[in-house]
Amino acid sequence: MPVITRRDLMRLLPASMLAGLGLSRLARADVGANDRKFLFVFAQGGWDPTWVYAPEFDNQYVDMPTDDSQKVSQNGLTWVSSTTRPSVDAFMSTYASRTAIVNGLEVRSIAHERCRRLLFTGGTDAEANDFPTRLAMGAPSHLPLGNVVLSGPSYSDSTASGVVRVGESGQLGTLIDGSCATGGTQTLRVPSSTLGAPEDAYLLARAQKAAGAASAGAQSRISQAYLTALQDEPAVTSMASLLTVNGQDPLDQMLAAVTLLSNGASRCATVADLGLNRVTWDSHSQVSIQSTHFELLFANLVTLMQTLESTPGTVGATLADEITVVVWSEMGRYPQLNASLGKDHWTTTSMMLVGGGIRGGQVIGGYDSNMGGVPVIPETGASDPDGTSGGVVLQPVHLGATLLTLAGLDPVEAFGTDVAPILGLLAQ
């Protein structure tokens, strides 16, 4: 079994990055549950785990990549390595100690829209908060941009606050600075800040009065939320420049997210990755494009981790100790190629957790011979193939419970007693 040597690593990694390696291994200060922040990177369309996470070379019924792909194990991680995906190797070998791979995650649907909801909320309820929203609302203090959605899906109910979408082309920034219609046929009238101030003050007073006078229920929810939003406006306005990101570039968005997370503006951020040329990961034909999708994604993740490891944290040694990066996709792909050399939908998939609070250097779960999920014992993360030791097939909701636990929130309150967090994924 080939093992990546340090020399390989030197070849794969840019020098600037190696320089940063020392810093990241410094003693990590105690990062408390309240300090945890989360970045969700969502590969939209359903990725094919066989290009990276699922080296199922021994399963003759699984169509593995036909390039020079091979199974590689190092520092507790096992992955599919190929010279066409150097960034995957670079990432895995450099950040193994911070990275956990989860295989055999059962999403329980095959329709994109449904899978996305299941992945983000853990269920099918049309009015449930997703994990990022729950985490943001559970923050020790209210954050105006608690859950910032730079791109990708987001689900929240009528009580959610602090959920902010930046828009597909970063249009929130233009809304804030008032340039939202320039370039078109008109320029909006926006009062100067001096003339706008009396308006804002008047409105805040009106909203306060309305919230105070509202009758219970919907009226109170709406007026209270309006008041909160008006109160949050100045804070968000002051961050306008951070919110004016390129809506099409996942790396720009990830880095903007890091800034928002690290300066305390947000607790969660979501970024969608649509793959090469934004064709999405829904490869019903020519699934080999996923090789490129993964290479681009991991190149971005390498840059992301470089940034996280080279930036001092608020309480942790670096941001990589405070921010947990969740890299996931709404479904997997049918193990065999179809007639167009693509792969159709499949309900099990893989995901990756990197950084703060994660017990790295491990692969949790797995695929059985039928590409179903292998049960996992939540307390330890150990596999329990015949399910006799209390193992469960992992579902997104278990991930949600795990993230909530990491953030010091009560998973039982959110998902009931039947859903155990996967403590085996967490450090300590």
Residues 73-112 binding ligand HEC (CB under 6 A) are: 110-111
Tell which one of 85, 116, 267, 345 touches ligand HEC (CB under 6 A): 345
Q: Which of residues 126-185 bind another protein (CB under 8 A)?
A: 126-127, 144-145, 152-154, 157-165, 167-169, 171-172, 175-176, 178, 180-181, 183-185
How far is it, in rounded angstroms, from Cα 267 to Cα 171? Answer: 21
- Distance set, CA 174 to CA 82, 145, 154, 179, 245 (Å): 42, 16, 21, 5, 10
Q: Considering the complex, what minimum distance in angstroms separates the CB of residue 313 from another protein? A: 26
Instruction: Give the end-to-end CA distance of the chain in Å, rounded to a whole number.
Output: 31
The site string for another protein over 108-137 (x = CB under 8 A, - otherwise) reads xxxx-xx-x-------x-xx----------
Beta strands, E only, 35-171: 37-43, 70-74, 77-81, 99-106, 147-149, 163-165
Regarding 343 and contact with ligand HEC (CB under 6 A), the answer is no
Tell which one of 4, 105, 139, 371 touches another protein (CB under 8 A): 371
Q: Which of residues 187-206 bind another protein (CB under 8 A)?
A: 188-191, 194-195, 197-199, 201-203, 205-206
How far is it, in rounded angstroms, from Cα 102 to Cα 350? Answer: 6
> At 13, is the secondary structure helix, strand, or coil?
coil
Percentages of the chain per state (helix, strand, coil), in multiples of 5: 40, 15, 45
The site string for another protein over 278-317 (x = CB under 8 A, - otherwise) reads ----x-xx--------------------------------
Q: Binding partner of residue 28 among another protein, ligand HEC, none, CB under 5 to 8 Å per kind?
A: none
196 is written with which tokens? 């706008």
Size of the site for ligand HEC (CB under 6 A): 4
Q: Binding partner of residue 197 among another protein, ligand HEC, none, CB under 5 to 8 Å per kind?
A: another protein
Q: Considering the complex, what minimum distance in angstroms separates the CB of residue 140 from another protein? A: 20
Nearest to 261 by CA among 41, 42, 38: 38
350 is written with which tokens? 């893989």
Q: Considering the complex, what minimum distance in angstroms separates the CB of residue 411 from another protein? A: 20
Name which of 111 and 188 has its Cβ closer to ligand HEC: 111
Size of the site for another protein (CB under 8 A): 94
Q: Binding partner of residue 158 among ligand HEC, another protein, none, CB under 5 to 8 Å per kind?
A: another protein
Name which of 118 and 136 has its Cβ closer to ligand HEC: 118
Q: Residue 88: left if φ>0, alpha if ψ -120 to 50, beta else—which one?
A: alpha
Q: H or E segment at 411? A: helix 411-415
Find the length of the chain.
428
Name which of 207 and 403 has its Cβ closer to another protein: 207
How far is it, in rounded angstroms, from Cα 305 to Cα 293? Answer: 18
Tell which one of 67, 344, 368, 384 touches ligand HEC (CB under 6 A): 344
Distance of CA 407 to the CA centre of its chain: 15
333 is written with which tokens? 């792909």
Q: Which residues bind ligand HEC (CB under 6 A)?
A: 110-111, 344-345
